[in-house]
Structure 1
Amino acid sequence: MIGKKVVESKPVPMAKVKTILEDFQEEFELSYEQNLTLDHVTKFSKDSLENTEKLVEELEQIVKTKYAIRIADLMPQNLSDLRLLFAKERTPITKETLEKILEILDKYSVE
């Protein structure tokens, strides 16, 4: 990889990855890895890009961006699933905060 370096790195929700790959597919042929990624995000993306961005924006007021995106991608349904996302955090997250996150997720829940 001569001459290539990472300029910026930031987490992106699955819904955005899906949109990026679909737009790219219109102009170019996707590589094997890109096809696998598109297949994965098509199967597991929970909501539209617009709703996902609104959800992430609301969650960012409570938690860091990387966790907001992870929560939006996985859409945990209960407290125990949500706790697993924060299991490796050094600072414990309060039960009240977790419940507030679940309330926000209920607003955006897609069934």
Structure 2
Amino acid sequence: MIGKKVLETEPVPTAEVKEILEGFAAEHDLTYEQNLTLDHVIKFSKLELEDSNKLIGELEELLKKKYAVRITDMLPEDLADLRLLFAKERIPIKNEDMEQILKIVDKYRTE
């Protein structure tokens, strides 16, 4: 059987996807799907790559990386928004931790 096997997966923030696709677009023609993805990350990426990585690093002290990346991409503004990100997850997060997460995210908000 000929096929591809996924060896490893790692969540990456939208800022990193934006950097990767912009670098690739400078050298090659993008496919339709890649163009759609680039347009999406340009519109919805809220932080620069450096700030995004710093925020993920701070959030990883409290959460797993996949949750830190999700919070970095969304930048929730209040507890309700943060709870929505974890609505389908089975991880217990205390209200004190959620408030601390929001304080960390507020430091990086550029609005």
How does the TM-score come out when normalised to structure 1? 0.95
User: Partner amino acid for 2:92?
Assistant: P
Matching of residue 15 in structure 1 with residue 2 in structure 2: no
- Segments of 5+ residues of structure 1 without an aligned counterpart are none
- Cα RMSD for the two superposed structures: 1.3
Match of 2:108 in 1: 108
Match of 1:53 in 2: 53
Match of 2:75 in 1: 75
User: Partner amino acid for 1:39?
Assistant: D
Alpha-carbon distance in 1 for matches of 2:34, 2:4: 19
DSSP 3-state at the match of 2:72: helix
User: Partner amino acid for 2:33?
Assistant: E
Match of 2:32 in 1: 32
Identical aligned residues as a percent: 63
Alpha-carbon distance in 1 for matches of 2:91, 2:43: 33
Deviation at 1:51, TM superposition (A): 0.2
Question: What is the 5 A alignment of 1:81-92?
Answer: 81-92=81-92
After TM superposition, the runs of 4+ consecutive aligned structure 1 residues lying more than 6 A away are none
Alpha-carbon distance in 2 for matches of 1:14, 1:47: 9
